[in-house]
Amino acid sequence: MLGESLLTLAALAGQMVVDAAAGDRWEKAERGYAQLLGRGNAKQAKLVRRWLEETRAQLSSEAGADMGMVRTALAGRWAGRWADLLEEDPDAEAELRALVQENQAAQPADEPPASGPADSADGDVSDYAAGPEHPDALAMRSELAYSAGQAGDAAAARDQFAALLPVAERVLGPEHPDTLAARASLAYWTGQAGDAAAARDQFAALLPLAERVLGPEHPDTLTNRHNLANFTGYAGDAAAARDQFAGLLRVRERAFGADSPDTLVARFNRAYWTGRAGAAAAARDQFAALLPIRERMYGPDHPDTLALREELAYWTGCAGAAAAARDQFAALLSAYEEVLGSEHPETLAVWYQLAHWTALAGDEGAPPD
């Protein structure tokens, strides 16, 4: 795993690409980036040039959108690519540092970068190179850690957020929204890395602070409640998870409406943990009530709708109707094969459930040959 200084370098380099793509000195910068990331491989360099052109085109075409969010997302993506380079080729560090310094030196004093320091209080380009404690560098480190988790390395994301958090607390303050977001990310990736109990405890400690600082119905606060409930269940207390989702559902219905996507997710999770807490018939009924809403909002072949049908079939069987579960899984299998393909892991999982409930049903209500 990359150390703090290299993560910061990757974050600064990611921001450098976005600034260059939105500026007037693109052609020279593009050649330098393609050469460094290409590492002498013509095909790789061609791919990098395509990425660069896509970035420049996206920045040019999103004039009416929230450019701050677009630039942050693009910078995080490029930070991940630079981090991959530094992991694969440690010798590239010196070249990348030189490229970042060259970019900063070429920036006119009266022309602030298109993103990053321009969003800070003083907009001084020297602050952009201030090192790992500059707020923009912290934001890029957060994006990089999140990207590591999304790429499948939950432990790396956890460790990167653990290293970032004390810096954010010192630089931004323990109650700054970005610090709270870092705490939430640390808790989440701790759970994703396999320690549900620690994630539960971290979210439990964070929630009162988020409620006081952000408000009890702030989206981030409600997301923290969602994650606390899930990790409570994953840590072994399904009944508590059920009750927490029931409470969260009432808040989401009041704040966002009964058909809000987040409200529907809360209903799904309440039903799931209701079943895990031992009430299979209640879970079946809750999933059955939710299904027509999912079908109406997302369509019958949407992955979320298919996932709900899978849960409904499972809890139907657990409630004692093995033949009905078998028939539901049989119908579901056709949908999965059509949407995902016959060899997709989800399709194979449905095959297993169909075989399981077919065996349990025996000849009960078997369809004619």
Q: Name the residue among 212, 7, 13 with its Cα closest to residue 97.
A: 13
For the residues 124-133, what does the mean pLDDT come to?
A: 46
Q: Residue 108: how many CB atoms within 10 A of its CB?
A: 10
C-beta atoms surrounding 71 within 10 Å = 25
Q: How many CB atoms within 10 Å of residue 160?
A: 27
Q: Which fold has domain 287-369?
A: 1.25.40
Q: What confidence category does residue 129 fall into, taking pLDDT thresholds of 50, 70 and 90?
A: very low
Question: How do residues 191-210 score in pLDDT, each as one tens digit?
Answer: 999 999 999 999 999 999 99
Q: What is the pLDDT of residue 126?
A: 37
pLDDT digits (tens, 9 = 90+) for 247-295: 999 999 999 999 999 999 999 999 999 999 999 999 999 999 999 999 9
- For residue 104, name the pLDDT band (cuts at 50, 70, 90): low
Contacts of 36 (CB under 8 A, 6+ apart): 85, 92, 95, 96, 99
| Contact call for residues 303 and 338 (beta carbons, < 8 A) | no
Q: For residue 218, what pLDDT is reported?
A: 93
Percentage of the chain with pLDDT > 90? Answer: 52
**Average confidence (pLDDT) over 141-152:** 82
Please enumerate in sequence order all residues whose Cβ is within 8 A of that of 107, keeping only pairs 6 or more positions apart, or say none: 19, 113, 125
- List pLDDT tens digits, range 283-304: 999 999 999 999 999 999 998 9
**What's the chain's average pLDDT?**
85
Length, in residues, of the chain: 369
Taking phi over 0 as left and psi of -120 to 50 as alpha, with beta for the rest, 60 belongs to alpha
Domain ranges of the chain: 1-60+67-130, 287-369
User: Which pLDDT score is estimated for 71?
Assistant: 77
Q: Which of 146, 144, 123, 145 minimizes the C-alpha distance to 134?
A: 123
pLDDT given at position 182: 95
